[in-house]
Structure 1
Amino acid sequence: MKRSILMLAMFFTLSTAFTSCREVKEEENEMEMEMEEEMDEMDNDMDNVGEDIEDAANDVGDAVENAANETGEAVEDAANEVEDEVEGNDDY
């Protein structure tokens, strides 16, 4: 009787050890897959942020260029007005 109880106890211990190892491996695999998915998401987010920064830099560059063109045109118009005034004053 002692042998049968010891054998059952040993069988129970071994079966529990093998069962828990399988669960741990499955959990580790699930965790690794989740981590890979999160890394992929972060990589995609970083790509999107990089593209957004590039777009914003292009927008700023365009705005600066437009402002410079408008300022140049305003200065040119003002210079023409001054020239017209100076030429107009010579006639008097």
Structure 2
Amino acid sequence: MKASMTRKLGLALLTVMMLGGVVACDNEGPAEKTGENIDKAMEDTGESMKELGEEIQDSVQKGQN
């Protein structure tokens, strides 16, 4: 009976610790914020390059007509 109670207490403690870890992951540190800024900058650069390529294609097609 005592082993069963110890096992249940251990599982409850482990569950609380895991939930605490998940909650703590929501706090963004400076490295996380910097990474997000870099990701956004790369996405913006990619979109700009795509738009530039489309503009070049349009001007080439207009020049051929």
Give the TM-score of the pair, scaled to structure 1.
Answer: 0.40
**Unmatched runs of 5 consecutive residues or more in structure 1:** 1-53
Q: Secondary structure at the match of 2:29?
A: helix
Alignment root-mean-square deviation, CA: 1.6
Q: Identity of aligned pairs, percent?
A: 26
**Correspondence list, 1:21-40, <5 A:** none
1:64 is matched with 38
The CA distance in 2 between the partners of 1:79 and 1:55, in whole Å, is: 37
Q: Which amino acid counterpart does residue 36 of structure 2 have in structure 1?
A: D
Where in structure 1 do 4 or more consecutive aligned residues deviate above 4 Å? Answer: none
Give the TM-score of the pair, scaled to structure 2.
Answer: 0.56
What whole-Å deviation, never above 9, does each CA across 1:9-53 have from its counterpart, x for those lacking one? xxxxxxxxxxxxxxxxxxxxxxxxxxxxxxxxxxxxxxxxxxxxx
1:81 is aligned, of 29, 49, 55, to 55
The total of aligned residue pairs comes to 39
